[in-house]
Each structure stands twice: as C-alpha cells, then as structure tokens.
Structure 1
Amino acid sequence: MDNSTAETLHVAGALNETLPTQPPSPEFSLGVLVLLAFLMALLALVTILGNVLVILAFIMDRNLRHRSNYYFLNLAISDFAVGAFCIPLYIPYCLTGKWLLGRSICKLWLALDYLLCTASVFNIVLISYDRFLSVTKAVSYRAQQGIMSNPVIKMVAIWVFAFLLYCPAILFWEHVAGYSVVAADQCHAEFFDNWYFLLCASTLEFLVPLLSVTYFNVHIFHNIQRRQRHGSTQDYQPARRDSLSWRFCLLPRPGTSSSLSEAEDSVSSLRSWRPAVMANSPSPTQTSPTPLKRDFSVSFRSRTGSKLQQDKKIARSLAIIVCVFAICWAPYTLLMIIRGACKGKCIHNSLYEITFWLLWINSSLNPILYPVCHMRFRMAFMKILCPKMFATLRSRNTPS
C-alpha cells in the first residue's frame, strides 16, 4: 500500500469517527419499538388528514378563496407533503438504524425534507407579512384583493428560496468536496457536522424568519393599541367631498354581507339628501342635516369598531401560530448549531431526535390552528365533516 492510499484511508476514518454509525435513536425493546412505530404512524396520519382537510376546504368553499387564505393553502400543501412522504420514509430508518432504500432515494428524501420544512417556515413569514399589511395598510390592501398575480409570485418565490437554501448543498456537497462522509447504510446531509454552514443556514431558515414575524406582530399590536387610544382607525379617516376615499371607507370587509353597490348607494344618498330636503321644506331649520350626519357617524363608527375587532382577532391568531412555530423550531435550530460546533460529541442523540420530531409536529399542528383561530375555517371544516349540523346551523341563522 502506497503512502497516498494510506493517507486517504486515514482521512476517511477520521471523518467517519465524527459521525454516528447509527441514526440518532438508541436501541429499544420490542414493545417500545411497536409503541414508537404506532406514534410515528399516527403523527403522519394526523398530518396528512389535517392538511387534506384544509385543501378540501379551499376546493369546496368559495368563501375561503381570497388572497390571504391562499397563503394558508400553500402552507397546507408543504405540510401535507411532510406527512405523506418525509415521515413515512424516516420511520423504518429511525427504528432499525439503517437506511435500506439506496443513496438516490436518500438524496431525494433529504432534499424534499429540507425543502418542505423550510417552505413551511417561509409560508408562516408570508402569512405574518400579509396580516401585517391588512392591519396597518387596510385601504391599499383591500384595493388589491382581486389581484392574484402578486400572491402567486410570492408563493412561487417561497419555494424557490427554500430550494436554494439547502438542496444544492444536499445534492452536490460530496462532489465539490471530493468525498462523502456518510456511510452506505446511513442517510443524512453531508454538512451534518459543518458548523459554519449550519450557522448560516439556520440564520436564514429560523432566526431571520423569527425576527421578521416578531417585528410584524409588534407593529400589529402597536397599531391596534394606537387606534384604541384615538378611538378610530387611521385607514378610515374621511376625505374631501367627492373623493374616492369615501368608497374605501364604505367598502365591505371580507366575510360581511355588504356589497360594493350598497356602499356606492350610501354615498349617492348622502350627496342627494340635501337638495331633496331643501326642495320640500319651507323652513331653514327643517333642512338641518344633523339626523343623517348622526346616522352616518354611527354607521361609520360601527364599521371602524368592527374593523378594529377583526384586526384584534387577526393579531391573536397570528400570535398563536407564530408562538407554536417558535416552540417547535427553536430547540432543533439551537441544538444543530451546538452539535455542529462540537462535532456531535456534546449533544445526546435522543435529545437531538426529540427536537427533530418537533419540526414535523409543527406540520401536524398548523391545520389544527386554522379552525381555532379563524371562523371561516371552522365553518368550512364543519361543512365537510358534519354537513347535517352545518345545514341545521345555516337554516337557523337564515332569516325567514
């Protein structure tokens, strides 16, 4: 054996010593393995069914098909793929300690797993940004409700950015480095213990999104508090007469029974009221517009008040989704950075495995949070799961 061959074997052996020869799960008894297999399969099933329910809600209920809810659909698609593909392929690997599906399937599984989880995070950021615009820039936001080109571009951009963050490294790392540090019966990314890459990628995948959604939430709550102190909403301030801003003031909120024609009729009646009274009244005192102004003021305050209540619900629901995201992602991100720094020697494998599964639990929790936080999703889910009960409630609420 020549010196170059011996040196190559020595380097390969040193590299393999830093990686576990088994996946991050210890040996278990048969009973524990059966229990773990059942829980993992149950998590995959819940993730699949929950996100399928969200997708079906969009197909069957047209009331959900407006711009902001399409971001929830995009999130549901990524979470569904996690439950349908990523979790089932990982279960036998986790329980047996060996990857038996070959290197090509391993690469595909790794690429999709990182892609889908990253896309799920970016979707949460996009949802937060959309809610931020709907609360702080309500007029311009509603003016673009019917324009679907911008949301489609944003949703496609999410998948492109998520792909570029990890997938090129997963697919081409070993070709650039000239060697592989992953054993034949194992399946993990080549950068599994590369601290520098993990730090940069985790910053873009978790820290930056977390800071972004925190910024959006703080501004949303600050905006609501400021409007509560002033007793009105800045986006609904009256403009000059004959201004188009009156139309925006009277535009119905999504989900209300008002229509654009009703808003225009209100403006027309406001403009035609004074000449009609002047023509039919002999006395100047009878031409006072005080009753109409008072009625219009009451209507205006009721609209601004309901808009404020709607924004409060948006803020609460967004805060819940973001908190769940932070709880599920923070432990894994922190441990991955520490694990990379110490080459996997300072983090117990079981602890890493628990934080790893937390990422997938987030994909199963997201569809549960939709009906909890949004009335429209609750009604759509009831329509799918309990059509008779939905029909009964609808008949009770329909005026005779």
Structure 2
Amino acid sequence: MASPGTIVLNTFFGCISAVTIVGNLLAIAVFVKDGKLRSTGDVYILNLAVADLMVGAISMPFTIAENVIGYWPLSQTFCKAWLLVDFTACSESVLSMVLISFDRYLQIVKPHKHRAKTFRMKVVLLAITWILAFLMYGPAIILWDVLTGVSPIKVNRCEADFPLRSAAYTFAMSFTEFVVPFGLLSYLYAQVYWHAIRWFRRRPSSSDGGRGIPTELGKMFHRRLAVNLTILLLVFFVCWCPYMVGTMVLSQCTSCIDYHSIAFVALDWLLWTNSAINPFLYAYCSPRFREGASRLLPKCCRTQTTGHISPQPV
C-alpha cells in the first residue's frame, strides 16, 4: 500500500506530465494548422515540441507507473527501449534549444545568411541533431552489457546506472550535454542582445523630426530583450545544472550521493520539468505561435495578443 506522501508526490509528477503533454501538443497543433510557419525558424520550435512531448508522454508516465507499482513490470528489452527514447529525447531537446538560439543569432546578426537557409537545409540539420542525440547514449544503452558483460539496468528497476559503471564516460557525456550547450546558448544570446541594441541605437531618435522611435520605447525594448534572454538561460541552467552536477559528482564518488534517494529522483524530475516549461518559453513567445494558440484555445482561455516591440522576433 503506497504511503500518502508517495501518492502526493506521484500526483504532482502526473501534473507535470500532463502540462508537458498538453503544452507541447498545442505547440505542434499550431504549427500543423499554420503552414506559413514552415518557412521560418519556427520549424526548430516544432522539433523542440516533439522532443519535449516524448519526454512528457513516454519518459514521465513510465517512471510514475514504476514508482506506484514499486518495480519495473516489463522486460529488460522494453526497458532498454524506454531508456533509449528518454535519453535521446532529452538530448534532442537541448540540441533543439541550441538550434533555436543559432537561428535567432543568424536572423538578427547575419540576416543575409538566415535568408539563404532553405526549409530543406533546416530539415537536414534537424536530422543531424537527432543522430547526435542518439549517439550520445544510444550505443551505451544497447551495447553496454554486450561489451562489458555487466548490465547497466538494475534488477526490477529500469534506470541506467552509468555513473556507477564508468566515471569517464558519464563525466564526458554530462559535460557534452550541458556545459557545451549552455556555453553556446550564452554566447549566441549575448551576440543577439548586443547586436539588437546597436541596431536600435542606430534608429533615428524622436528628435529627428518626430519620425524615429521614442527613447522610452527603446528602454522598454532593451529591458524586455534582456529579461527574455535571461529567463531562457536561467530556466535551462536551473533545470539541468543540479542533475548534471549531481551525476558528475556521483561518477567520481559513488558514496557521496545516494543514486536511488528521493533527492536524486527530484533532480531527475527537475531536468524533465524543462520540457514542460519550454513551450511557454519558446513557442508562445513567438507572435505567430501565440496568435495560433489563441485561435485553438476556448474563448474563456484566450488572451489578447499584445504588440511586439523588438526589431526581430526573439
């Protein structure tokens, strides 16, 4: 019989899963309904929504079921398949965020190169990221027991315990999956911010015959742009950093952290929560996505689309 605390905790996890599924399904529905989005960088947002939907619809529910039952009820083969989807989808979610930031960088800093990118080129780039996401953990999940003779999957539990098997591999993958993307996101968004500010400052001021943009609007633009970019980076850092740091510490010192403790489970769910937040940070921050989502929602849930003051969609 599950304890009240366990019931409350898994109910909370179920709510996170539901928000992840609904939010990302809405983002995908907007893209499918509005064909014009296919000619823009929003195709990367669609890809992000697909990866995050996999996390919400596959990664989270099976973990909740395992927690409720108390053990993994299916075969090891199915466990490997589930782990493969989970790790690949999470890695692709990060790579999609990097693609979105790179697309915005090109759109604002190098618009001529951004215009030269065709839809087919974007699809090829997305295919490459899915291959990379699979290669990060896929071969290890599939072949670890074959190559080492030791199964990475616990008996009656479905969890890859790479941190307990190979410190070097775990540290390298954690660095590749979090530190490198975070560095790229920080650099690209810093370039977007400074270039957008320089673009704005070169606009005619309100003193030039009243034809320019008011100074107060410029300040509002700077503030909104800084806040938006800071939130994007901060959410990714807060959701991913604790788990990755914990994993890297565990890879070097297995006695320092209990891999099966509630605290470590919470870090895992904090990482997954990023997939629940992403639709609101990326899809619904796009004016076209926001308008499309508003048309799909019931009238009682719609919000009026406000003006967009940035020189380019950010």
- State the Cα distance separating 1:230 from its structure 2 match: 4.2
State the superposition RMSD in angstroms.
3.0
- State the Cα distance separating 1:152 from its structure 2 match: 0.6
1:65 and 2:38 aligned:
yes
Partner of 2:311: none
- State the Cα distance separating 1:29 from its structure 2 match: 5.5
**SS of structure 1 residue aligned to 2:156:** coil
1:36 and 2:9 aligned:
yes
Partner of 1:346: 256
Residue 20 of structure 2 is aligned with which of 23, 33, 47? 47
Q: How many residues align?
A: 296
Residue 79 of structure 1 is aligned with which of 32, 52, 59? 52
Distance 1:186 1:29, change over 3 A: closer
1:152 and 2:123 aligned:
yes
1:363 and 2:275 aligned:
yes
Distance 1:104 1:308, change over 3 A: farther
Q: How does 1:253-272 map to 2 (within 5 A)?
A: none
Partner of 1:211: 183
1:176 and 2:147 aligned:
yes
Partner of 1:220: 192
- 64-73 or 182-191, larger mean C-alpha shift: 182-191
**SS of structure 2 residue aligned to 1:192:** helix
Partner of 2:289: 377
1:331 and 2:242 aligned:
yes
Query: In the alignment, is the contact (CA less than 8 A) between 2:38 and 2:119 conserved in 1?
Result: no
Partner of 1:201: 173
**SS of structure 2 residue aligned to 1:155:** helix
- State the Cα distance separating 1:320 from its structure 2 match: 2.3
- State the Cα distance separating 1:183 from its structure 2 match: 3.6
Query: In the alignment, is the contact (CA less than 8 A) between 1:124 and 1:322 conserved in 2?
Result: no
Q: Deviation per CA, 1:313-358, whole angstroms, max 9, x where unpaired? A: 6665444223211110000000001111112x21142221111001
**SS of structure 1 residue aligned to 2:26:** helix
State the TM-score, normalized to the length of structure 2. Answer: 0.84
Partner of 1:13: none
Could you tell me how far apart the structure 1 residues matched to 2:107 and 2:222 are?
A: 8
Residue 123 of structure 1 is aligned with which of 81, 93, 96? 96
Structure 1: gaps spanning 5 or more residues: 1-27, 233-293, 395-400
Could you tell me how far apart the structure 1 residues matched to 2:113 and 2:271 are?
A: 35
Partner of 2:136: 165
- State the Cα distance separating 1:212 from its structure 2 match: 0.4
Percent identity between matched residues is 31
Q: Deviation per CA, 1:164-214, whole angstroms, max 9, x where unpaired? A: 010001110111112336442122225232211111001111110000001
Structure 2: gaps spanning 5 or more residues: 306-314
**SS of structure 2 residue aligned to 1:179:** coil
Could you tell me how far apart the structure 2 residues matched to 1:337 and 1:97 are?
A: 27
Partner of 2:298: 386
Q: Deviation per CA, 1:134-167, whole angstroms, max 9, x where unpaired? A: 11112332x336x212111111111000000100
State the TM-score, normalized to the length of structure 1. Answer: 0.67
**SS of structure 1 residue aligned to 2:250:** helix
Could you tell me how far apart the structure 1 residues matched to 2:27 and 2:221 are?
A: 22
Q: How does 1:103-114 map to 2 (within 5 A)?
A: 103-114=76-87
Q: Deviation per CA, 1:368-398, whole angstroms, max 9, x where unpaired? A: 22465232222111100136997x979xxxx
Query: In the alignment, is the contact (CA less than 8 A) between 1:50 and 1:364 conserved in 2?
Result: yes
